[in-house]
Structure 1
Amino acid sequence: MDERVREHAAVLVDWSARIETGDDVVVSVAEDAHELGVAVAEALGERGANVTTLYGSDELSRAYLKGAESEGRDFDDDPAVDRAIFETADAYLRIGGGRNTTATADVNRETRQAYAKARKGVREARMDTDWVSTVHPTRSLAQQAGMAYEEYQEFVYNAVLRDWEALAEEMAEMKAILDAGDEVRIVTERDEAPDTDVSMSIAGRTAVNSAASVAYDSHNLPSGEVFTAPYATEGEVFFDVPMTIDATRVRDVHLVFEDGEVVDFDAETGAEALASVLDTDPGARRLGELGIGMNRGIDRFTDSILFDEKMGDTVHLAVGRAYDACLPEGESGNDSAVHVDMITDVSERSRLEVDGELVQRDGTFRWEDGFDD
């Protein structure tokens, strides 16, 4: 076994999930993530945790959904067995790495949407655990990223095997700025595409220093972003980083906000998939997240939101559900069955302001070398 696999497992179990002796841990392992699954199981055994394993297969999900679709059946709300698994778990570790990144592409979009709505209770129970999601570098993901397999392995481990304590200290500065701020404005200028000029309120919100650990209210490995839950959004934003939404390639998204809600939208490709997301429920047309990428170990776009949204020189906005960690106790944020991130490159001709003060220019933060150049 590649020693980096064991290092990945150790980061996941120790730094990210903070597993302790006696913890009940649910581990979901995708088809081609077996090697990392084995390393994680070994690490959990060494730490004295109790383990339940699930087979996280998109191909199995496709078969189930196609079968249900052929019979025209409805989905049971809140499946009791699935919900019970997570209600009794201390932690949930999801190890992605399937055989086909578009395995469910031929499932009717309405079927996928209905299934997601029906499982909202399961999703809530899962998110109440100390959950962490990561991926094992696989050939299908390498192909999606446009890389050789060995090249992609190097990319993944550069993003995952970081000095997370040092990065957490740097991101704490961005968190402090957002926590003290009332309004964020993002501006970018494009020669051959719509400009971005969008403002949003963050007053009363708490930013998350997403340092790849539940100790920081962070649930992705790799991570490396600071995010919060905005509201009262006004203006327009252009997302120039391609992405896959609902198994559909989406490119060059333009959203227009009024009174906090998307009132107009377009996309060069994948507009139908975008429309389906926005029509999921009322909360799907409002923002649930503003995220600022700060992981400079991620140096290219790979059509994987797990990596792309954490990349330095990017900002992302998500329509849909807001994370409770960003909200005052007892307050409900934007609620939706979806949470879909979209990314814009801010490495050139851009600025990010908090309460009118410049925090980032052309991808460089004001505490970094080169900001004053």
Structure 2
Amino acid sequence: MDDRIRAHAETLVDWSARVGPGDDVVVRVAEGAHDLAVAVAAALGDRGANLLATYGSDEVSRAYLRAHDGDFAPADAERALYESADVVLSLGGGRNTAATADVPGGTRGAYDRARSDAREARMATDWVSTVHPTRSLAQAADMSYEAYRDFVYDAVLRDWEALAAEMARLKDVLDAGSEVRLVAEGTDLSLDIGGRTAVNSAASVEYDSHNLPSGEVFTAPAGVEGEIEFDVPITVRGRRLRDARLVFEDGTVVDYAAAEGEAALGELLDTDEGARRAGELGVGMNRGITRPTDTVLFDEKMAGTVHLALGRAYDACLPDGAAGNDSAIHVDLISRMDDGSRLVVDGETIQRDGLFRWEEGFEGA
């Protein structure tokens, strides 16, 4: 086994999930993540945790969803499983990134809505999602398998404490701010962040962070006005979405378009009422992620990008007792902040042309 797989597993168990003796841990294993699952199981056993592994497959999901009549019962058994768990680790990495492309959008939306209680139960645990490098993901990234493995481990095996210290600078700015404005070609978007708390997403539950790799600072906007274009292609529910554009009025998407996948975008927006509102604004800061790969877990953390998530807001960003945007979906759309772009907080330019004001090469306000 590649030593980096063991290092990935140990980072996941120790830094990210902070697993301790006696913890009940559910490990959700995708069909291509077997080697990582073996390493994670060894790490959990070494630390005296209790392991229950489950199997996940996009091809299995496709078969089930296409055969079903679409009248889904609540996922009570899955909810009960997560309610009894301390930690849930999701190990992604399938054989076909487009396996569910021919599942009808209405069926998928109904399924997601039926599983909302199970999803909430999982998110009440110390959950962490990660990805094992597979050939299908390398192909989606237009990379050789060997190059893709190097890319993944460069993103995952970082000095997370050092990155957390840098990202804290942006968190402090956002926590003190009232309005963020994003300006770039095709984008002029204002977001109300007053009273919200930004998350320093340093790949650990100790930071309210649940992805490995991570490397972003995110918050939950209370309102959004304007328009934004997303120039980083992504695959959503097995379908390609490219050059999407959203127009917001009074916090709600009132118009949309895409060069590719416009129908899929429309289906997402029609999932429920909350799907037309933004649940997250995130700013990518992981400079180990140097290019898009068509895997959102990596792409949304890429330095020099921002992302806006349609749907559910995370409670960690909200004032105590406040209810954020609720939806059965949370789908991140990504835009580069390169030449000609500005990220402005309360009238002060914090980032220009992809560089923050504390980075070398930043040019004035």
TM-score, L = length of structure 2: 0.99
Match of 1:254 in 2: 245
Following superposition, the deviation at residue 73 of structure 1 comes to 5.0
Given candidates 257, 263, 275, the residue that maps to 1:266 is 257
1:314 aligns with 2:305: yes
Match of 1:74 in 2: 71
Q: What one-letter code is carried by the residue in structure 2 that aligns with 1:76?
A: A
Match of 1:192 in 2: none
Structure 2 gap ranges (5+): none
1:180 aligns with 2:176: yes
Q: What one-letter code is carried by the residue in structure 2 that aligns with 1:268?
A: A
Partner secondary structure for residue 347 of structure 1: coil
1:301 aligns with 2:297: no
Matched residues in 2 for 1:306 and 1:41: separation?
22
Structure 1 gap ranges (5+): 190-194
Given candidates 215, 219, 222, the residue that maps to 1:228 is 219
Match of 2:230 in 1: 239
Describe how 1:12-161 pairs up with structure 2 within 5 A. Answer: 12-68=12-68, 72-77=69-74, 79-161=75-157
Partner secondary structure for residue 40 of structure 1: helix
Match of 1:217 in 2: 208
1:366 aligns with 2:353: no
Partner secondary structure for residue 172 of structure 1: helix
TM-score, L = length of structure 1: 0.96
Structure 1 outlier segments of 4+, above 2 Å: none
Matched residues in 2 for 1:355 and 1:74: separation?
47
Match of 1:281 in 2: 272
The 8 Å contact of residues 70 and 111 in structure 2, kept in 1 or not, is answered as no
Q: What one-letter code is carried by the residue in structure 2 that aligns with 1:251?
A: R
Match of 2:198 in 1: 207
The worse-fitting range, judged by mean Cα deviation, of 230-239 and 158-167 is: 230-239
Matched residues in 2 for 1:347 and 1:299: separation?
13
Following superposition, the deviation at residue 231 of structure 1 comes to 2.1
Aligned residue pairs total 364
Following superposition, the deviation at residue 74 of structure 1 comes to 1.2
Matched residues in 2 for 1:73 and 1:294: separation?
40
Matched residues in 2 for 1:87 and 1:351: separation?
43
Following superposition, the deviation at residue 372 of structure 1 comes to 2.7
Matched residues in 2 for 1:178 and 1:16: separation?
24
Deviations 1:132-181 (A, max 9, x none): 00010000100010000000000000000000000000000000000000
